[in-house]
Chains A and B, each alone.
Chain A
Amino acid sequence: MIQTIVKRDGRTVPYDRGRIERAIFKAAAALGGTDESIAASLAVKVEEYLTDNLHNTKPSVEQIQDAVEKVLIEEGHARTAKEYILYRAGRTRVREMNTGLMKTYEDLTFKAAVDNDVKRENANIDGDTAMGTMLKYGSEGAKQFVEMFMLDPKHAEAHKSGDIHIHDMDFYTLTTTCCQIDIDKLFTGGFCTGHGFLREPGSIQTYAALACIAIQSNQNDQHGGQSIPNFDYALAKGVKKTYRKLYVKNLAKALEAYADLEDAEDKVKALAAAVKERTGAVPAYLNQAPFDEAAKEELAALGLSEDTIKRAQAFALRHTEKETERDTYQAMEALVHNLNTMHSRAGAQIPFSSINYGTDTSPEGRLVIRSVLLATDAGLGNGETPIFPIHIFKIKEGVNYNPEDPNYDLFKLACRVSAKRLFPNFSFLDSPFNAQYYKPGDPNSEVAYMGCRTRVMANVYDPSREQTFGRGNLSFTSINLPRLALKSHHNVDFFFELLANEIDLVFDQLYARFKIQAAKHVYNYPFLMGQGIWLDSDKLGPTDTLEEVLKHGTLTVGFIGLAECLTALIGVHHGQSEQAQNLGLDIIGYMRKRCDEKAKETKMNYSLIATPAEGLSGRFVRLDKKKYGIIPGVTDKEYYTNSFHIPVGFEISAYDKIRLEAPYHALTNGGHISYVELDGDPLQNLDAFESIVRCMKECGIGYGSINHPVDRDPVCGYVGIIGDTCPRCGRHEGEAVSIEKLRELKKTYPGMPDYECYIH
């Protein structure tokens, strides 16, 4: 006698034969059956089967359903059985679909990005493409797996509840964040990316092309961005090689033309080698005289007159300079195009690339800097503003900051280009925390930032290698400061207690993640480690784990919403009162102190970052709104203010904003940035633009960026500020304009895009 059954969730409920009857009848009815009495007798048979054959008087739902199938088949109702089985499988699918991950997948599959915030978590991934969606399937699945099976339950709970945010959790078991790639070292002697050897590049074109390949390859090994810290220094070598090759060719051409010299190219090549051997002089950009002087001897030995030599050298110089400059510009143009169009991560994403430059004062380095700036200024095929790479112009007194400095002209150019194209950003090598490492002429002593703001320089693990090349961040986890403030109910002492505990938890979690990363091998990072890009990875053997070299990287604590935190604690944020600013500095200062202590204690590079926070900016406030309701100045917006920034909506002068944010740069050794927003076109007031940059430098900012609107009308190609109507062709957004008018405009603006593609 069956009296109770066990439901899927474990509950015991009274048995009801009628349910079995109804389920069987439903299946039969789907096939056209109408006889309820058959269903009734079959239900009895199911019951008997369970009690008499299986001796099961307290069956589970699964067991009952198994019994129904068996009885239906044995009694000759095969088609009904099939129908029942299908119905059962459908119910199972529905059940599984309702679990969180499957719901997420459903949304990814059926909702366009415009309706799905998850698809727009990362703005540089197109969530609507097949590859973008596939990346998201993998990413969401991995996150759930990590949360359920890899994380310490304490850490998982803290993350899920919104006390902390573990960034890039989808990659938790797989890799590290980012790296500064020393391409000079990489290119020397050539390298591999997986199949086939790439010889050391021999011209500026191949230097630039391989720089892109290096970024793309490394992007496939890590989940964060890729940066080149020595862009000008490294590519200058390409310019040198191009110049020498071109000079030999051009001198040979001249001698063939002026003096009918046979086998001119071979002879000139031999001559150049001899000159180098004898005097060390080589053809050099903007410094051709030493070689020309020295070469007179070898040229005379070929039987050439003084006059011919003079004319030929002049010809060669003229053309080589021009061609070198053209080749360098075109190489930079190609680089900018390449970095805006190549895809990695299974085709879903353009690599997040950054380049640092500005301090190489050699003629070749200066040419690289000038060319990459001008190429950025020109834009992409139809004049569009390039999205990548992120450019960081390194400002340094004595090098490019003052009018008497050798690269000052390039600083001015950088401001002009930035005023149009939003890049370069500016880093400041004179800020005290950066200046302490600087050694003139040593690019590895120049702090280089990742485009996102990550900064890795000090090295507690190996103090003899406080450098930027070959290092990066391992992982970072952010603390929800506003929530801690809300929990502490205006009690600042209690807030600090809560903060202390949270930091302890984050240290634990960062270290646990490190242990997973450290257990991997070189073959898990074929490019980053296999090609020796990460510091000391070239010392590892195939069976070694990575612990000893990964320790050069940073384990970083981050934070968000200092402004909302202060408002929650004392009613105002640091833009509003000196007291708030002092408290803010105390809070961030305390976090930094804890990181320094932990670093010293463990000899590992724990650091503090002002978290970039893209996906995170909304997550914490959403959770806090649910938990605490809407609190003015704290949870009444859809986002928390980034890191230590003054709230973006707060009326404050640019100067005051910079002044107030600067001291936080010194505290966030893991990375920081300050922004100034301009409303108009700074090209109309370049002096003002430059004065903002100078203000940043004087206030001790480490990394700064100036935002201004950059609009473009794809139809007529106008780039600048567009209000309601385009200043060039006059159309409103979405409005059509006559081809006649465009033809007329093209006379004034020959670089206009091809509007043919818009004609239906």
Chain B
Amino acid sequence: MTAKKNVETVGENVGFERIRRITGYLVGTMDRWNNAKRAEEHDRVKHSTSTMEQL
């Protein structure tokens, strides 16, 4: 008798939440940002946390 294989999975089509600060307040997902703010977030230069001495 073979054991019935029952591989259940979860999380299909579930995305990651990416919280970003819009104009001073947070929004949990960028889906609700207007086009201009999305473009701006895309352009943001990020400073490296690992080379903070060169702040």
Q: Are B36 and A638 in contact (CB-based, < 8 A)?
A: yes
Q: Are A387 and B27 in contact (CB-based, < 8 A)?
A: yes
Q: Are B28 and A387 in contact (CB-based, < 8 A)?
A: yes
Q: Are B47 and A677 in contact (CB-based, < 8 A)?
A: yes
Q: Which residues of B contact A120 (CB under 8 A)?
A: 32-35
Stretch at the interface among A142-150, A405-413, A502-510, A609-617: A609-617
Q: Which residues of A contact B26 (CB under 8 A)?
A: 385, 387-388, 422-423
A653 at the interface (CB under 8 A from B): yes
B interface residue count range (under 10 / 10 to 19 / 20 to 34 / 35 or more): 35 or more
Chain B: CB-nearest residue to A450? B24
Q: Are B11 and A735 in contact (CB-based, < 8 A)?
A: yes
Chain A: CB-nearest residue to B26? A387
Q: Are A736 and B21 in contact (CB-based, < 8 A)?
A: no
Within 8 A of A (CB), among B33-55: 33-37, 39-40, 43-50, 52, 54-55
Interface string of A703-727 (1 = CB under 8 A from B): 0010111111111000000100010
B2 at the interface (CB under 8 A from A): no
Q: Which residues of B contact A759 (CB under 8 A)?
A: 8, 10
Q: Are B15 and A733 in contact (CB-based, < 8 A)?
A: yes
Q: Are B23 and A114 in contact (CB-based, < 8 A)?
A: no
Within 8 A of B (CB), among A14-29: none
Q: Are A711 and B9 in contact (CB-based, < 8 A)?
A: no
Complex alpha-carbon distance, A352 and B26, angstroms: 11
Q: Are A715 and B10 in contact (CB-based, < 8 A)?
A: yes
Q: Are A758 and B40 in contact (CB-based, < 8 A)?
A: no
Query: With A387-B27, A614-B23, A651-B45 in contact, is A734–B12 under 8 Å at CB?
Result: yes
Complex alpha-carbon distance, A621 and B46, angstroms: 24
A673 at the interface (CB under 8 A from B): yes
Complex alpha-carbon distance, A453 and B34, angstroms: 20
- Select which of A615, A677, A731, A736 is within 8 A of B45 by beta carbon: A677
Interface string of A412-451 (1 = CB under 8 A from B): 0000000000110100000000000000000000000001
Query: With A637-B43, A677-B46, A759-B8 in contact, is A618–B35 under 8 Å at CB?
Result: yes
Q: Are B50 and A680 in contact (CB-based, < 8 A)?
A: yes
CB A428 to nearest CB in B, in angstroms, measures 16
Q: Which residues of A contact B19 (CB under 8 A)?
A: 385, 387, 422, 710-712
A464 at the interface (CB under 8 A from B): no
Q: Which residues of A contact B9 (CB under 8 A)?
A: 736-739
Q: Are B55 and A654 in contact (CB-based, < 8 A)?
A: yes
Q: Which residues of B contact A637 (CB under 8 A)?
A: 39-40, 43
A397 at the interface (CB under 8 A from B): no
CB B34 to nearest CB in A, in angstroms, measures 4
Query: With A385-B26, A614-B23, A692-B55 in contact, is A123–B33 under 8 Å at CB?
Result: yes
Chain B: CB-nearest residue to A755? B10
Q: Which of A615, A638, A687, A735 has the most chain B CB atoms inside 10 A of its CB? A: A638
Query: With A422-B26, A707-B21 in contact, is A123–B14 under 8 Å at CB?
Result: no
- Select which of A614, A684, A726 is within 8 A of B22 by beta carbon: A614
CB A118 to nearest CB in B, in angstroms, measures 9
CB B18 to nearest CB in A, in angstroms, measures 5
Query: With A680-B49, A736-B9 in contact, is A614–B15 under 8 Å at CB?
Result: no
- Select which of A123, A652, A685, A734 is within 8 A of B15 by beta carbon: A734
Complex alpha-carbon distance, A639 and B46, angstroms: 18
Complex alpha-carbon distance, A691 and B49, angstroms: 11
- Select which of A384, A678, A735 is within 8 A of B28 by beta carbon: A384
Interface string of A640-664 (1 = CB under 8 A from B): 0010000111111111000000000
Query: With A678-B46, A678-B49, A688-B52 in contact, is A117–B34 under 8 Å at CB?
Result: yes
Interface string of A375-403 (1 = CB under 8 A from B): 00000000011011010000000000000
Q: Which residues of B contact A739 (CB under 8 A)?
A: 8-10
A126 at the interface (CB under 8 A from B): yes
CB B40 to nearest CB in A, in angstroms, measures 5
Listed A/B pairs (5) with beta-carbon separation below 8 Å: A618-B39, A677-B46, A685-B52, A692-B55, A695-B55
